Amino acid sequence: MNETRFEQIEDYLNGQMTGTALAEFEAQLKSDPALQAEVELHRDVDIALMDEQDIPFVQTLNNIHSKASTQAETTVQTPIEEVTTAPSSRRRILRFAIAAAAAVLLAVFALPLLLPAPNPMTISENTIGGAPTLEIRRSTNPTEATETEKSLAASYQKITDKDYAEAIPELTKIYESTDDNQAALGLGYCHLQVKNYDDAIQIFEKIQAKNAILSDTATWYLAHTYLRKGDIQESKNILQKIISSNNVTLKRREQAENLLNSLEKIN
C-alpha cells in the first residue's frame, strides 16, 4: 500500500483533512471505486483496533514487537524508554500493517469485480487490426480503368481518414457497376464501422462465396461483424473455420486463435 495514500485516508477518517485537500479527496472518492474500497477497509480496521487483544493477527505483531524489544535491551543495553514504541506509534504501525495486508487481498479478489468486464465491441476494436488496403490493378480498358481506379483510390483514402459514411456511396456505385472485390471489401468494412451490420454481413458473405483472394480478409471481418452485432457464438463458429482452414495465412490463423481465446473468457 502506498504510504502517502495511507496517510491521506487516515487524515480523512480522523477529520484532519481540510480545505482544498479535503475537496479534492472527496471528489476522487466519488469517482474511484478502488479508493472507496480502501476507505471502507480502513474504517473496518479502525473498528477492529478498538480492541486489539481480540485480534490474533494483532497479538502476533505484539509478540514480535515484544521479542524485538527484549533482544534490543539485551544486546544494546539501551534504556527501556528509548527502544519501546509509544502506544500511539505502535497502534499506527499495526493499523498500517493490517490495512496493507488487507489491501493486497482486496486487489486480488475484490477489485476485479469492481472493474467493468471487457465487452464484445472493445475486444473487436482491439483485435480487428488495420483497415483494408487497396491494390491497384491494370485494366484492359485504360480509359475506363483509370476512372475506376481513381474513384476506388479516393474511396479508400476516405477509409484511411475514417470517413466511412462518406465513402459508402462512392464504393456502392463502384461495386454495383463493376462487381469489384476490392470495392466490395472496402464497402463492407465501412458498413461495419458505421454499425450497418446486416449490410456488412451480406457483402462479406458474397466475397466469401467467390472464394477469391480476398475471402480470407472478408471472413475475418465477418467474424468481427457478428461479434459487434452481439452474436458471439456465430463469431466463434467463423473463427473456428478460419483456424481449421488450409487457405489462410499463419498470421490470420494466430489472430483467429487469440480472438477466440478472448471470447471464451466472456461467454
Q: What is the pLDDT of residue 35?
A: 82
Residue 267: pLDDT band by 50, 70, 90 thresholds?
low
157 and 227 in a single domain? The answer is yes
215 and 90 in a single domain? The answer is no
96 and 138 in a single domain? The answer is no
Residue 137: pLDDT band by 50, 70, 90 thresholds?
low
Helix 181-193 / helix 197-210 crossing angle, nearest 10 deg? 150
Q: For residues 193 and 25, which has the higher predicted lDDT (pLDDT)?
A: 193
Is the model's pLDDT at 107 over the cut of 90?
no
Which pairs with CB-CB distance under 8 Å and at least 24 residues apart come from 76-83?
none
Is the model's pLDDT at 249 over the cut of 60?
yes
Q: Which residue has the cell 468481427?
A: 224
Is the model's pLDDT at 52 over the cut of 60?
no
Q: Which residue, of 85, 115, 145, is where some domain finishes?
A: 115
Q: Which residue, of 73, 90, 115, is where some domain finishes?
A: 115
174 and 214 in a single domain? The answer is yes
Helix 3-13 / helix 19-31 crossing angle, nearest 10 deg? 110
Q: What is the 3-state secondary structure (H, E, C) of the chain?
A: CCHHHHHHHHHHHCCCCCHHHHHHHHHHHHHCHHHHHHHHHHHHHHHHHHHHHHCHHHHHHHHHHHHHHHHHHHHHCCCHHHHCCCHHHHHHHHHHHHHHHHHHHHHHHHHHHHCCCCCHHHHHHHHCCCCCCCCCCCCCCHHHHHHHHHHHHHHHHHHHCCCHHHHHHHHHHHHHHHCCHHHHHHHHHHHHHCCCHHHHHHHHHHHHHHCCCCHHHHHHHHHHHHHHHCCHHHHHHHHHHHHHCCCCCHHHHHHHHHHHHHHHHHC
Residue 177: pLDDT band by 50, 70, 90 thresholds?
very high
179 and 109 in a single domain? The answer is no
Window from 34-38, 142-146, 175-179, 192-196 with minimum mean pLDDT: 142-146
pLDDT digits (tens, 9 = 90+) for 166-175: 999 999 999 9
Q: How many domains does the chain have?
A: 2
Q: What is the pLDDT of residue 81?
A: 45
Q: For residues 186 and 147, which has the higher predicted lDDT (pLDDT)?
A: 186
pLDDT digits (tens, 9 = 90+) for 4-42: 777 888 888 888 888 888 888 888 888 888 888 888 877
Is the model's pLDDT at 78 over the cut of 50?
no
> Could you give the C-alpha distances from 153 to 158, 160, 161, in angstroms and in order?
9, 10, 12
Look up the CATH number of the domain holding residue 227. 1.25.40.10
Average pLDDT, integer, range 34-51? 71
Q: Which amino acid is at 22?
A: L
125 and 50 in a single domain? The answer is no
* Whether the predicted model's global pTM rises above the 0.85 cut: no
Average pLDDT, integer, range 177-185? 94
Residue 119: pLDDT band by 50, 70, 90 thresholds?
confident
151 and 89 in a single domain? The answer is no
Q: In which domain, by residue range, is 171 found?
A: 121-266
Highest mean pLDDT (candidates 42-56, 158-172, 248-262) = 158-172
Average pLDDT, the chain: 79
104 and 175 in a single domain? The answer is no
138 and 261 in a single domain? The answer is yes
127 and 234 in a single domain? The answer is yes
User: Within 13 Å and on the Cβ side, how many CA atoms surround 2?
Assistant: 6
Is the model's pLDDT at 123 over the cut of 50?
yes
Alpha carbons 112 and 185: distance in angstroms, whole number: 39
Q: What is the pLDDT of residue 96?
A: 63
The dihedrals phi and psi of 27, each to the nearest 5 degrees, come to -65, -40
111 and 154 in a single domain? The answer is no
Q: Which residue, of 115, 150, 176, is where some domain finishes?
A: 115
Is the model's pLDDT at 43 over the cut of 50?
yes
167 and 232 in a single domain? The answer is yes
C-alpha cell at 164: 466511412
Residue 115: pLDDT band by 50, 70, 90 thresholds?
low
Return the percentage of the chain with pLDDT > 70, whole number. 67
